[in-house]
């Protein structure tokens, strides 16, 4: 137990370092750019511009700007938006993160839930039509990009099923209703669900042929217990190892999905800010992303030894 806590502590420090490091790269990249958001404002006197620059500390040499920024990050302060004056970035992004996380969570639920279900069923009914159906869906599904699924989802639910969905919830800018979540979550989750299904099927086929599953049958356990407790438990181990990259993929995918569905999350903010050259926010979003991915990976690594007692930290 103490070892685990120590391990988590070490990892948290490492995540902090990685986050700062990665967003530093983005920071330095973006600060190579001559000019900034203010240059677009043509009717500005040089004095006013200088005042603005000073207000944001943009007139300082790059090193001092960087030091200021790192200090800010370590205090959880990501500065202010360059476009919408006086908007503090940290609280804005925290709010947007909660939106993104909600969608992401459901997408992960789709990915893992549907993927496991299809994979297990296909493995248990190997070489039946159920298996062929599930397997071919998976082999096609994991190649279809999430934004394509999103477009089809919009077409079907927003257009063809207009009468049923009343067209009210995919084109309106307002966000916050529960019924708005399923389609984006499906779009985000389906490609990865196919991947999980393939992996689960292969892994289940391996475990149901193992000696210990035969032992479980020989003990006279119920079929459900054998499948879930003995076969699936072990089949899950390789699946968990890909959860990290999966979460990274869902985060990347969410950038497009949020823009398609008009979801006011981090991904939408990211694209909007790049197009508006609001670099402070871009850097901020990236800092959040790096931290999120780090924490997600840590969570996976903590779950791992619970599933597989042979792994110890």
Partner 1 sequence: MQDLKVQFFVSGGTVNAVDGVSFEIDRGEIVGIVGESGSGKTMTALSLLRLIPEPGRITNGRILYGEKDVAQMTDEEIREFRGNEIAMIFQDPMTSLNPVLRIGFQVEEAMIAHQRFSNKQAKERVVPMLQRVRIPAAKDRVRDYPHQFSGGMRQRAMIAMGVSNEPSLLIADEPTTALDVTVQASIIELIRDLSRELRASVILITHNMALVASLCNRVIVMYAGRIVEQGPTRAIFKNPQHPYTWSLLRSMPRVDEKEKERLISIKGLPPDLGKMPPGCKFHPRCKFRVDRCFTEEPPLDEVDPGQRARCWVLMKNIANPEAQAQT
Partner 2 sequence: MAQAAPVIQPDLELSYEMPEQVTLLSDAWRRLRRNRLALVGAVIIGLLFITALISIVWTPYPTWLQAVGPTYQPPSAAHPLGLDQAGRDILSRIMGGALITVQVGVGSAIIVSLIGIPLGLLAGFYRGKVDTVISFFINIWYGIPDLLVALILVFVLSDALHLIPRGVLVIIIAFSLTRWMDVARLVRGQALALREREFVEAARMSGARDFALLARHILPNALGPIIVQATFAIPAAVLFEAFLSFLGLGLPSPTPSWGAMAADGYHGMDFAPHIVLAPTIALSVTLMAFNWVGDGLRDAFDPRMRR
CB of 98 to partner 2, least distance (A): 19
Least Å distance, CB 192 to partner 1, is 25
Residue 137 near partner 2 by CB under 8 A = no
CA–chain centroid gap for 282, Å, is 17
CA distance 108 to 181: 12
| Shortest distance, position 210 Cβ to partner 1, whole Å | 7
Q: Which candidate, 270, 277, 244, 275, places its Cα nearest to that of 256?
A: 270
SS3 sequence, 173-206?
CCCCCHHHCHHHHHHHHHHHHHHHHHHHHHHHHH
| Binding stretches for partner 1 (CB under 8 A) | 209-223, 225, 229-230, 233-234, 237, 307-310
Using the rule CB under 8 A, give the single segment among 28-36, 44-52, 79-87, 234-242 that binds partner 2.
28-36
Dist. CA 153–CA 187, nearest whole Å: 7
145 binding partner 2? (CB under 8 A): yes
- Beta bridge partners, 80, equal 88
Q: How far is the CB of 150 from partner 1 (least distance, A)?
A: 38
* Residue 79: strand, helix, or coil: coil
Residues 211-270 that bind partner 2 (CB under 8 A): 244-245, 248, 251-252, 255-256, 259-260, 270
- Mapping DSSP to helix (H, G, I), strand (E, B) and coil, where does residue 50 land? helix
Shortest separation between residue 224's beta carbon and partner 1, angstroms: 11
**What does 105 bind: partner 2, partner 1, none (CB cut-off 5 to 8 Å by kind)?**
none
- Kindly state the tokens that stand for 301: 């690594």
Distance, in Å, from the CA atom of 253 to the CA atom of 144, rounded to the nearest integer, reads 12
Helical ranges in the chain per DSSP H: 2-30, 46-55, 62-74, 89-109, 115-124, 129-141, 146-153, 162-165, 182-207, 211-218, 223-225, 233-241, 243-261, 266-276, 279-307
CB 220 to partner 1: min, Å: 4
Residue 206 or residue 308: which is nearer to partner 2 going by CB? 206
Binding of partner 2 by 6 (CB under 8 A) = no
> What is the C-alpha separation between 61 and 182, in angstroms, rounded?
48
Q: Name the binder of 46 from partner 1, partner 2, none, CB < 5-8 A by kind.
A: none
Contact 230, 217 (CB under 8 A): no
Q: Region of 57 please: left (phi>0), alpha (psi -120 to 50) or beta.
A: left
Q: What residues contact residue 12 under an 8 Å CB cut-off, 6+ apart?
A: 298
Of residues 6, 29, 228, 306, which one binds partner 2 by CB under 8 A? 29
Instruction: Please say which residue, 97 or 207, places its beta carbon nearer to partner 1.
Output: 207
Site for partner 2 in 109-128 (CB under 8 A): none
Please report whether residue 82 would count as binding partner 2 according to CB under 8 A: no
* Contact pattern for partner 2 over residues 168 through 207, marking x by CB under 8 A: ----------------------------------x--xx-
| Binding residues for partner 2, total number by CB under 8 A | 49
What are the residues binding partner 2 (CB under 8 A)? Answer: 15, 18, 21-22, 25-26, 29-30, 32-34, 139-140, 142-145, 147-148, 151-152, 154-155, 158-159, 202, 205-206, 244-245, 248, 251-252, 255-256, 259-260, 270-271, 274-275, 277, 282, 286, 289-290, 293-294, 297
């Amino acid at each position: 137990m103490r070892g685990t806590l120590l391990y988590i502590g070490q990892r948290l420090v490492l995540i902090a370092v990685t986050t700062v490091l990665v967003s530093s790269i983005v920071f330095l990249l973006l600060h190579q750019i001559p000019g900034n958001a203010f240059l677009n404002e043509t009717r500005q006197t040089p004095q006013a511009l200088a005042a603005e620059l000073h207000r944001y500390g943009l007139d300082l040499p790059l090193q001092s700007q960087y030091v200021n920024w790192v200090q800010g990050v370590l205090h959880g302060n990501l500065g202010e938006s360059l476009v919408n004056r006086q908007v503090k970035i940290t609280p804005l992004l925290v709010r947007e993160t909660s939106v993104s996380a909600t969608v992401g969570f459901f997408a992960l639920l789709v990915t893992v839930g549907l993927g496991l279900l299809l994979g297990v069923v296909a493995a248990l009914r190997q070489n039946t039509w159920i298996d062929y159906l599930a397997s071919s869906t998976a082999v096609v599904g994991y190649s279809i990009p999430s934004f394509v699924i999103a477009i089809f989802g919009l077409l079907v639910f927003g257009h063809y099923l207009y009468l049923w969905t009343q067209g009210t919830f995919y084109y309106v800018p307002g966000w916050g209703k529960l019924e708005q979540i399923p389609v984006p979550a499906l779009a985000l989750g389906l490609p990865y669900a196919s991947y999980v299904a393939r992996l689960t099927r292969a892994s289940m086929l391996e475990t149901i042929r193992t000696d210990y599953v035969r032992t479980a049958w020989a003990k006279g356990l119920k079929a459900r217990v054998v499948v879930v407790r003995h076969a699936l438990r072990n089949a899950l181990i390789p699946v968990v190892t890909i959860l990290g990259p999966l979460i990274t993929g869902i985060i990347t995918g969410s950038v497009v999905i949020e823009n398609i569905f008009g979801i006011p999350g981090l991904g939408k903010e990211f694209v909007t800010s790049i197009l508006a050259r609001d670099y402070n926010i871009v850097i901020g979003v990236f800092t959040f992303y790096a931290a999120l991915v780090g924490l997600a990976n840590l969570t996976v690594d903590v779950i791992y030894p619970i599933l597989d007692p042979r792994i110890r930290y």
